Structure 1
Amino acid sequence: MAKHRAIPPGFLTVGEVAKKTGVTVRTLQYYDKEGLLSPSAESEGGRRLYTDKDVVTLHQIISLKSLGFSLDDIKQRLISLETPADVAKALTEQADDIRGKIQQLTASLTAIEQLKAEVLQMQTVSFKKYADIIVNLQMKNDSYYLIKRFDDETLDHIRNQFDKESGLNFMDRFNCLSDEIVQLQKESAPPESEKCQQVVKEYWDLIMEFTNGDMSMLPKLMEVGNIGTAANAWEERQKIVNDYLEPALQIYFSKLGLNPFEEVKR
């Protein structure tokens, strides 16, 4: 670090930099201590002196910090500003970071608007359900609105039965199987056909996996699955699945010689 008797032209004191950039002197001292931004020179009286280049670097730090990066992350991302290409690279990276932040904020705004719509449709205040809906929105689980149709006991079962990874895996398999069923319906495949009965078996196995074999949950699932007027694309698809599966399930259970839904009613 160069030393100067007085403050030469082109240098700024720590106070001047703080005033110019809107950060505190204490913050600049902290950045110096952490090796993030050190002054380029020092007067013989011990005053820290910064250059315009230091100010540009400080703006890099401020910008990255506003995007949520930690100081350790920022230290790794700071780019040398020796050439126009260096400056352009720094600006390009900051622009990319800002675009990423805009995408995150847009997704968050969408999730908040979706949550607001769901909350207004619910008849009672349930912070457990709100929390579950928020988690599923963050996971981009398209069937998140099913949560509001489950009672607290069923939601507790789901929380105990699935974690984030296994829950998403289950819904992926459920949705893929539902797509297969919709395709069978489009092909007018008879419910008694081998292809249809194989899909029905897989569907029933998923239900047993979901309930963990607890047959007392079936009436609740039937109530949740009973869709009158579809309010969205997922419900429209599920209505097709339900209508197509009803006779196919009857055939499947008839072959097994049992009807679990009748068993539960007794």
Structure 2
Amino acid sequence: MTAWDTPSDGKRDVLACMRQSVRMNTTGDRNGGSAMLLRVGELAKRTGLTVRTLHHYDAIGLLNPSARSQAGYRLYNNEDIARLHGIQGLRDLGLPLSDIGRQLTVNGATLPEIISRQLAALDREISRATDVRSRLTMLQQRLTVGTQPETDDWLAALQLMTTHGKYFTSDELKVISERWQEMTADWQPLIKELHDAMKEDIPADASVAQMLARRWMNLSMRWMQDDFALLTRWKEMCENEPAAYGNSGIDAESFQYIGNAVALRVAAFQKYLDPLQIKRLNKNLDEKWDALEQAARNIMRQGLAADSEVVRRLAVRWDDLVDETADHDPVIREKLLIAIENEPLIRSGSHLSADVREFIGGAVAFSGNRQSA
């Protein structure tokens, strides 16, 4: 079976049955075993081998029958059949007949050892067949959309599947692919804005690029379901494999651009928070922060004073969001606020615009002064 043969359900069932059959053979004769003797023709019929094969095994001394009938027919007993199973098992593992004889005679390979090796080989084949089937299923879903794919489409999809297979299992790719489809509406506008920033030659440390970096980081973690190790492997694949991007809208140049912006942002956070603390920052609060920005702008347009009840509630919302962002950890919260205060680059890519931050900061300060009075 080649890497691109279709591992049908039927073949998987056969493999599973073979595996179960081999397991059953390890239990021996439950009735205590009988001195059953089989003639060569019957043994060939019951094992699926040919009489000629059994004659050949006898001729080269690999499997000599334990007895002969009065008429000279070869007769095989239980021990002969067990040895035959060992021979076929080692053949299935790829050993030539000459080596099989030495394994059984000189090295003393026992039937349980051979069966264990067969089971391991079958496990690998079942696993590989399952993996290939999963990959082909994803290929089918990707390409069969009511029309017959063109040759270039097949080749591109096969190349992409091979590339991804170097870094991820089929189960991981299934989840990654499904999550990407679910989040397409979030990714598409971000990728478009990324390309627009590149066309305008916006530097990686500029506010626009840093806002893109913040959104990219948050969306990537949501995509990988907060699995940082999975995200790291994806990053490595994109850096090393030109074919990794597929038709995502991202290419090596745009990936490098956003990667530079993200690296600057991460470096700024790392001055204050360790990797585990950065990982714990809540990446799923974009909508809440955007709603806070909008609410603050509405209040600012109304010209409400910092001591009004509406402004006070706004300050409480900001305080709650900071706490939620910090995973309700007071240590992380304090470090996060210090980082925002000291790092212009972090502030430039934050959810809140500069004037809103200043307005909310005044409201928070007033609320704090009033509480301490």
TM category (shorter chain) comes to 0.3 to 0.5
Structure with max Cα Rg = 2
Q: TM-score, normalised by structure 1?
A: 0.41
Q: TM-score, normalised by structure 2?
A: 0.32
